[in-house]
Structure 1
Amino acid sequence: MATKLFDLTGRTALITGSSRGIGFAIARGLAEAGAHVVLNSRDGAAVDAARDALRLDELSASGFAFDVTDPEAVGAAVDEIEQRVGPIDILVNNAGLQKRMPLVDFPLDDWKRVLETNIDAPFIVGQAVARRMIPRGRGKIINICSVTSELGRATIAPYTASKGAVKMLTKAMCAEWAKHGLNVNGIGPGWFKTELNKALVESESFHAWLVQRAPMARWGELEELAGAAIFLASDAASYVNGHILYVDGGVTAVV
């Protein structure tokens, strides 16, 4: 019974920004739990490589390259996925962008690019998929938030602002769509070794700070995000809604 609660066999999951990093790790986890995963990126070659890597491990995957900030492209892609692959049962809004610079010097165009990717895209893709899920009376949406949904840090003001907004968008989606059978939750990763965090990974001073700051005294491993995603995508989380699950080694639990 317990195992069945987490079984995703027969379900289709679209994960945005999933050709690498957190998105790919989550896609792999959902596929290992039985789902057919639909990978996404703007880079078609990267999507194909990620899809082939999963298939090499005998996991069920397909790939669709499209820009998650383009409403027309998103609408066309969602239509094609539903026609060619099947109804989208699970959506993971993961695509994200980071740029580091002192706030006083931050160019407006860069500010807009970060917010467009990090908060506009979850709205655009979430809306397009929810329009399909609502008539079916079921669906799981997982928005990738961050510890910076709760914590501010210097030089990443637009990222922090956008991830705080994703947290509240998640709650708003729950408030409107839960009555239609949708579960909308978020995952807030702490610090993981990804390309997005390349500058931090290479910084000895940041590594020393993280080891001292995090109760678990280490970076997170990407595979450690899979369980949270499987849980929120599965029947085990049938009464979990509007919740942000922080996978951060305890960072948000301490001052």
Structure 2
Amino acid sequence: MYLPSFRLEGKTAFVTGAGRGIGRALAIGLAEAGCDVGLMSRTRSDLEETAEQVQRAGKGKAIILPADLTDREQMEGAISQFVQEAGKLDILVNNAGMNIRTPALEVTEAEWDVIVQTNLKSAFVASQIAAKQMKEQGGGRIINISSVGGHTALRTGVVYGSTKAALIHMTKVLALEWAQYGIQVNAVGPWYFRTSLTEKLLSDEAYLKDILDRTPLKRVGQLEEVVGPVVFLASDAANYMTGQTLLVDGGMSIYGF
């Protein structure tokens, strides 16, 4: 058989930041591929909306797990509850993230700390908690949602770019260390996708023109176009991949400025 399975029937996936945007799309896509999905963010009402769409789209069930990912105790509780209800943890998607767009000369320590805590430290903590469970099970997949801004310098803010670059390198180090346990760690680096968080930026014609001028495919991404790479990395089709970052950026990172 030369075409490995992209299906995920019988698998379970835990998605952080699943209440909206890319996280919601990923949760729905993983459910469509066959997963039972754990939905985590701080806002229950957002998770309930995601759960409704997951249940309409997928074969698996949606488990709502409100928690603050910056609180280790809450993260441990959410992942433990998910394992109790779903029976195991096959896939962790570290999607939750944030940005505060501040010029480097004006960044405050408080801004630095909250972005690093949310984008980097929390992803490590979630990975560490999940990896302990996956080690007991004999393996699993961790997929970090980084950014093309972690690969290429962008006007997104020095703190955001730094955390996303660190997330790419963390992916490599964890992949190296945890391969012995059957845990594969990979990342996806998106460019601009249309979400409620980016809509205001993309509604600015000058800003959008700048984005499109930097993108060989001359458009921003649609949410379903980041789902496919994540499902691929979670599936048997990616069995021989670890420590890699797939840039889903319309070619932006290859462009010669």
Q: Above 0.5 in TM-score?
A: yes
Alignment of 1:18-29 (within 5 A): 18-29=18-29
Q: Unaligned stretches of 5+ in structure 1?
A: none
Is contact 1:25–1:226 with CA below 8 Å preserved after alignment? yes
Aligned amino acid, residue 17 of structure 2: G
**What is the aligned length?**
255
Q: Unaligned stretches of 5+ in structure 2?
A: none
Q: Give deviations 1:96-133, integer Å, cap 9, x for gaps.
A: 01111211112210111111100011101000000010
Q: Which residue number corresponds to residue 30 of structure 2?
A: 30
Whether 1:189 and 2:190 are equivalent positions in the alignment is: yes
Is contact 1:97–1:196 with CA below 8 Å preserved after alignment? no
58 and 144 in structure 1: CA distance in 2 versus 1, 3 angstrom threshold = closer
Q: Which residue number corresponds to residue 82 of structure 2?
A: 81
Is contact 1:98–1:196 with CA below 8 Å preserved after alignment? no
How far did 1:53 drift? 2.2
Is contact 1:102–1:155 with CA below 8 Å preserved after alignment? no
Give the Cα separation in 1 of the matches to 2:117 and 2:141: 23
Q: Which residue number corresponds to residue 169 of structure 1?
A: 170
TM-align CA RMSD: 1.4
Q: Which residue number corresponds to residue 11 of structure 2?
A: 11
Q: Which residue number corresponds to residue 54 of structure 1?
A: 54
Quick check: 193-202 or 227-236, which moved more?
193-202
Q: Which residue number corresponds to residue 141 of structure 2?
A: 140
How far did 1:153 drift? 2.2
Aligned amino acid, residue 67 of structure 1: D
How far did 1:3 drift? 6.7
Q: Give deviations 1:37-64, integer Å, cap 9, x for gaps.
A: 1111111121112102222345422211
Q: Which residue number corresponds to residue 160 of structure 1?
A: 161
73 and 110 in structure 1: CA distance in 2 versus 1, 3 angstrom threshold = same
Q: Give deviations 1:202-255, integer Å, cap 9, x for gaps.
A: 221121112211110000000101110111000110000000001100011122
Is contact 2:79–2:130 with CA below 8 Å preserved after alignment? yes
Question: Normalising by the residue count of structure 2, what TM-score does the alignment of the two structures yield?
Answer: 0.95
Give the Cα separation in 1 of the matches to 2:12 and 2:210: 40
